[in-house]
Amino acid sequence: MALETWLAFFAASWIISLSPGAGAIASMSSGLQYGFLRGYWNALGLQLGLAMQIAVVAGGLGAILAASSTAFYVIKWFGVAYLVYLAIRQWRALPADLSDDTAVRPIGKPLAMMFRGFLVNASNPKALVFMLAVLPQFVNPQAPLLSQYLILGATMISVDMIVMAGYTGLASKVLRLLRTPKQQKRVNRTFAGLFVGAAAFLASLHRATA
């Protein structure tokens, strides 16, 4: 892969990752609720979902899924339902009184949080179609494809890990300022609203047609 091609994709990866979306909302929500070290397991799950999407595109299955309206809408509505489920969980999350430094904060289970992050990315068909449209633009069809997709995948995942670490870490810092249950309840409901907004946006998307 030519250096200038990789640099262009590297820049594009930052733009894509920094754009607010369901992954960013999930990362901030996890950081607020669990702190950075625990909350980052969600970001690792997001990367598994991203890796799956890249592998699907690289394997040629992305074109098949993009061409199937049934597959597109099944994945889309699963994603909508899952984001609404996350919104309900966030709304109902029990706040803790952190004015006492000895109070115990919730401890998320790493595998459960990774699975949650994985589903957020894996259940977004528009992201898969977007990958299908973007990734091939940086691939030289005359050169070995596997190595190129591995480079592109490693680049995008590395950038996204850094960006999601920023979202998670920023939110975990805010957590220290939310000392009372009333303050935490407001933030939980704010993020519940953001999840609903992300679900509504996903529900409004339609499969692109030629």
Amino acid at 145: L
For position 46, what pLDDT does the model report? 92
User: Residues 97-108: pLDDT tens digits?
Assistant: 555 554 555 566
In the structure encoding, which two tokens stand for residue 197, read together? 């907004």
Angle at 61 between CA 49 and CA 54, to 5 degrees: 35
In the structure encoding, which two tokens stand for residue 16, read together? 């894509």
Query: DSSP string spanning 152-202?
Result: HHHHHHHHHHHHHHHHHHHHHHHHTT--SHHHHHHHHHHHHHHHHHHHHHH
Q: Are 25 and 198 in contact (CB under 8 A)?
A: yes
In the structure encoding, which two tokens stand for residue 173, read together? 């810092």
Angle at 183 between CA 173 and CA 19, to 5 degrees: 50
Q: Please, what is the average pLDDT of the chain?
A: 79
> Distance (Å, rounded) from C-alpha 45 to C-alpha 25?
14
> Distance (Å, rounded) from C-alpha 39 to C-alpha 108?
8
Determine the length of the chain. 210
Q: pTM value?
A: 0.72
Torsion on CA atoms 205, 120, 56, 127, rounded to nearest 10:
30
> Distance (Å, rounded) from C-alpha 162 to C-alpha 179?
28
User: Residues 45-86: pLDDT tens digits?
Assistant: 999 999 988 888 888 766 666 666 776 777 778 778 877 887
User: Residues 5-34: pLDDT tens digits?
Assistant: 898 889 888 887 887 778 888 888 888 888
Burial zone of 170 (CB within 10 Å; 0-12 exposed, 13-18 middle, 19+ buried):
middle
